[in-house]
Structure 1
Amino acid sequence: MTAFQELMTFQRETEALSGIAERLGWDQETVMPRGAADQRAEEMAALESVLHARRTDPRIEDWLARAEATTPAEARSLDLVARSYNRTTRIPARLATELARLVSRAQGIWAEARANEAPAAFLPTLEEVVRLKREAAACLSEGDLYDALLEDYEPGATHRQIGAMFDRMRPRLVALREKVLGAERRVPVIAAGFPEATQLRLARIAASAFGYDWTRGRLDLAVHPFCSGSGQDVRITTRVVEAEPFNCLYSTIHETGHACYEQAIEPAYLLTPLGRGASMGVHESQSRIYENQLGRSRAFTGWLFTRMVDAFGDFGVRDAEEFYAIVNRVSPGFIRTEADELHYNLHVMLRFDLERALIGGSLEVADLEEAWNARFEADFGVKVDKPSHGFLQDVHWSCGLFGYFPTYALGNVYAGCLNQAMRAAVPGLDAALAGGTAKPATDWLRENLQRHGSLRAPAETIAAACGFAPNEGPLLDYLEAKFGAIYGV
């Protein structure tokens, strides 16, 4: 074999082992017995030790020096392996293993603290996670510690670039929010009970409408909805609140966006460096466009309204137009994953600023709850009433995913660009959505973005699909047009 072939054979085994680790994580969040947490932490640590050894194997450096690419895909594969090798070799094996063990335990501790409204039970563990992530960032950093962690989720992005984008977005978002919240038009709230089994049945119907391949996936319940896997095994989770059916339905559609991206990647890229999404920002563009621009559109909600009446009977909504407004109701709620499109990016901005301060050392974990509550009240005008509505609501920090949160807002920006390009390219899209299928949209996304996996860098992936460089303008224009019409402002 050539050096390139030897490297890719080795990489294939590493990718397969990484998939096993991901499957263990899925199991832990869905069906693992609570009493198995300590053993699972040791299993995850052992597997991470093996993976770290493979990713830092000195033969990789030799293969990279000798390998010759004959296609753009091969060249990109070499670039991605080299990037992974250069970053992983900077992290000591001891630190990688310790982190894997800790975050496996931390997720269970977080979930219990969240359920019991007991932040003191989680804070000591979070302090350890932050300490180890600071240590890892110092190993990786060529400047800013936070940028070193951000690179894992959105390669090439910096906190300054993202902060500048947020500064440009905030005035228009806040101005639109003030108009909407001050509007004379009022949108009602659903007040009914929606049984869990029926919600889950309807969630499966919605996932099917967006093209989720059930022969390569499944739907389960979790504390915090997520998508796991790639290629031939891509699983989604949701959660159910019987009084709030949109929680389950739109969490499911959101995770379906992630899953369909992974399921659509070229089969030839399976278990190669190209066989995953280009970045978390690009991944979020898929989940957010499925959930919002498509799933919360007037056309799709008209179809969904009929399905909900069939499933639940009369639940107090007059017609499809009122249902569309209710699905898109603007309210300064506590929970990011349930936030309307107007408030969502403000939730992300809050987390972005707080986690930068945590990693940079200007904010300590002991002061996090107070800092969160003060910032939330300043941004949303509402006092946090309990920890599960505040800093305990998200799983990310227990998992050590510092640098992940800003990719949610990047995903919204990317989705705005994709929606503009897709609408121009796909006539009859709303007619299809009104008939209960997103196929014209998902076919366009699959062809122009999803099938390419990690073939291109994140911004290049969006630019290649849209025909223009990503920017926040299309998203803000879309939000102003949509919510201006709903609220008459």
Structure 2
Amino acid sequence: MTAYAELMAFQRETEALAQVMGRLGWDQETVMPPGAAPQRAEEMAALEAVLHARRTDPRLGDWLAAAVAEDEVAAGNLRILQRSYERHCKVPARLAAEIARVTSRAQGIWAEARAAEDVGAFLPVLSEVVALRREEGAAIADGGDPYDALLDDHEPGARSADLAAMFARLRPRLVALRAAMRAAPPAPVLRGPFAEETQMTLAREVATVFGYDFARGRLDKAVHPFSSGSGLDVRITTRTNPEDPFNCLYATIHEVGHATYEQNVDPAHRLTPVGQGASMGVHESQSRLYENQLGRSRAFAGWLYGRMRDLFGDFGIASEEAFYRAVNAVRDGHIRTEADEVQYNLHIMLRFDLEQALMRGDLAVADLEAAWNDRFLADFGFAVERPSQGMLQDVHWSVGLFGYFPTYALGNVYAGCLHAALRAAVPDLDACLARGEAGPAVAWLRERVHRHGALRPPRETVAAAAGREPDEGPLLAYLEEKFGALAGG
């Protein structure tokens, strides 16, 4: 066997074990009995120790030094493995296992604290998570910025200074658009209740419309919606609220964007480094494009209105146009996952600044709630009333995903570029969406983005698909056209 063949045989087993690790996380969030949490933490730590040992095995260094890339796929695999090997070798095995153990335990503590509106119950374990991630970031950065080291794990090549500059360009135009929408007549409100099982029935239908293959996945409920897995086993979750079916339906569409990306990667890449999404930012470009530019379009909203009338009867919305306005309502709200397109990135900016301060030691965990509440009031103009509306609303920090939040904003920016190219390539897109057919859009994305997996670095992936270097211009143009029209009546 060549060095490359030996390397890939070894890596295939590592990728398979990583999928098992992901399945344990899915189980923990959906069906695991709560009493199993302490044991699950030990299981996760044990498996992480095995994975870390494999990812730092000295043979990897030898194989990487000797391997020759004979084609684009081999070059992609070697690029990713070289980067992974260098990063993991900087993190002590003890630290990797402890992060897995503590974050598994923290996830359950966060869920209980959120339900009880008790920040104090969460702060001790969050302090542990922050300390561990600071240590990891410092080890990887090797004298550089620890936060950038963590950010790079989710979006290779991204730097916080570049993101801060992008946010500075986005903020004034988003704030101006929000002011225009606040001055416009309020959007119609749906009148419930909406049976939760019927919501799940429609969610499964919508998932199928957007190309999700239930033969290789499943839809369950969780506190915080997410997608997990790749290849032949890609699972998604959603949540229901009897007064707000949009929460369920659009969370489902969002997660289907993630899931179809993973399901549509070229099968030849399965269980290899390139056989997954290029980055979290590219992943979010799919979920946000599905959810917003497609799912909240006038055309698709018209179809969804009809299906909701079929299933729920009269829910207080008299026309497709009124429903379109309800789907795209810009309202004051605390919850990021429920935020409209105009305000969503403002939520990300808040988290970006706070988690940088936490990682760099400028903000103590004990002061996080007050800092969050003060910043939210300044940015949004109204107060946080309870912790589940504030620092306890997201699962990310409990599981140590520092540096992850900015990828949501990058996903929106990437989605703006991809949407413009998609519209040019599929001129009858609206006619299809009005019939409840998202197939042409999914097919274009499968060909231009999904099937390639992580073959190219993130920005190259988007540039190759969209035919341009990614920037925030197309996103802002789309938002100002869409919401400018809505604000104008």
TM-score (norm 1): 0.99
2:324 matched to which residue of 1?
324
Shift of 1:75: 1.1
SS of the residue aligned with 1:341? Answer: coil
Please list, as runs of the form range in 1=range in 2, the aligned pairs for 1:212-223 lying within 5 A after superposition. 212-223=212-223
Deviation per CA, 1:51-99: give whole Å up to 9, x if none.
0000000000000111111001101111111100000000000000000
Contact residue 254 and residue 288 of structure 1 kept, 8 A: yes
- Aligned residue runs from structure 1 range 35-46, under 5 A: 35-46=35-46
Deviations 1:363-401 (A, max 9, x none): 010000000000001110110000000000000000000
Counterpart position of 2:358: 358
Query: 1:188 deviation in Å?
Result: 1.9
Equivalent in the alignment of 1:311: 311
Which residue of the partner structure matches residue 163 of structure 2? Answer: 162
TM-superposed CA distance for 1:447, in Å, is 0.3
Aligned-residue sequence identity (percent) comes to 67
Matched to 2:457, the amino acid is A
1:300 shift after superposition: 0.3
Runs of 4+ in structure 1 off by over 3 angstroms are none
3-state SS in 1 of match to 2:156: coil
Residues in 2 aligned to 1:430 and 1:101: alpha-carbon distance in whole angstroms: 48
Per-residue deviation, 1:144: 0.8
CA distance in 1, matches of 2:487, 2:195: 31
Corresponding position of 2:178: 177
1:96-245 equivalence runs, <5 A? 96-142=96-142, 143-183=144-184, 185-245=185-245
**DSSP 3-state at the match of 1:151:** helix
Matched, 1:475 2:475: yes
1:90 aligns to 2:94 (yes or no): no
Letter in 1 for 2:189: V
Q: Partners of 2:272 and 2:44 in 1: how far apart?
A: 22
Q: Per-residue deviation at 1:21? A: 0.4
| 1:344 partnered with 2:344 | yes
**How far is 1:189 from its partner?**
1.6
Shift of 1:486: 1.3
Equivalent pair of 1:21/1:47 in contact (CA under 8 Å): yes
Q: Distance in 1 between matches of 2:373 and 2:343?
A: 16
Which secondary structure does the structure 2 equivalent of 1:42 belong to? helix
Q: Structure 1 residues 171-180 or 347-356, which shifts more?
A: 171-180
Q: TM-score, normalised by structure 2?
A: 0.99
Spell out, residue by residue over 1:156-193, the C-alpha distance to the aligned partner (whole angstroms, 9 max, x if none): 0100000000001111101111111112x221222310
In structure 2, C-alpha distance between the alignment counterparts of 1:88 and 1:131, rounded to whole Å: 18
RMSD of aligned alpha carbons: 0.6
Q: Is the 8 A contact 2:278 2:458 kept in 1?
A: yes
1-side partners of 2:373 and 2:229: how far apart? 35
Equivalents in 2 of 1:329, 1:11: separation in Å? 47
Residues 328-407 of structure 1 correspond to what in structure 2 (within 5 A)?
Answer: 328-407=328-407
Determine the C-alpha separation between the residues in 2 that align with 1:437 and 1:208. Answer: 10
Q: Does structure 2 retain, via aligned residues, the 8 Å contact 1:99–1:129?
A: yes
Aligned twin of 1:462: 462
Within 2, Cα distance between the matches of 1:222 and 1:382?
A: 28
2:301/2:324 contact within 8 Å kept: yes
Whole-angstrom CA distance in 1 between matches of 2:473 and 2:389? 31
- Please give the alpha-carbon distance, in whole angstroms, between the structure 1 residues aligned to 2:151 and 2:247: 28
**Cα distance in structure 2, aligned partners of 1:226 and 1:295:** 18
- Aligned partner of 2:167: which letter? F
Distance (Å, rounded) in 2 between the aligned partners of 1:178 and 1:313: 34
CA distance in 1, matches of 2:186, 2:404: 35
Q: Is the 8 A contact 1:332 1:343 kept in 2?
A: no
Q: Deviations over 1:100-152 (max 9, x none)?
A: 00000000000000000001000000000000000000100141110000011
For 1:167, the aligned partner's letter is: A
Q: Give CA deviations for 1:256-305 in whole Å, capped at 9, x if unaligned.
A: 00000000000000000101100000000000000000000000010000
Could you tell me which residue of structure 1 aligns to residue 436 of structure 2? 436
Q: Which whole-Å CA distance do the structure 2 matches of 1:316 and 1:171 have between them?
A: 35
Letter in 1 for 2:241: V
Q: Is the 8 A contact 2:189 2:316 kept in 1?
A: no
The equivalent residue for 1:75 is 75
Q: Distance in 1 between matches of 2:86 and 2:257?
A: 31
Provide the C-alpha distance between the structure 2 equivalents of 1:179 and 1:486, rounded to a whole number of angstroms. Answer: 9
Cα deviation for residue 332 of structure 1 reads 2.2
2:291 is matched with which residue? 291
Task: Give structure 1 stretches of 5+ with no counterpart.
Answer: none
Q: What secondary structure sits across from 2:342 in the alignment? A: helix
Which amino acid in the other structure matches residue 325 of structure 2?
Answer: A
Work out the CA distance in 2 between the residues paired with 1:76 and 1:253.
30
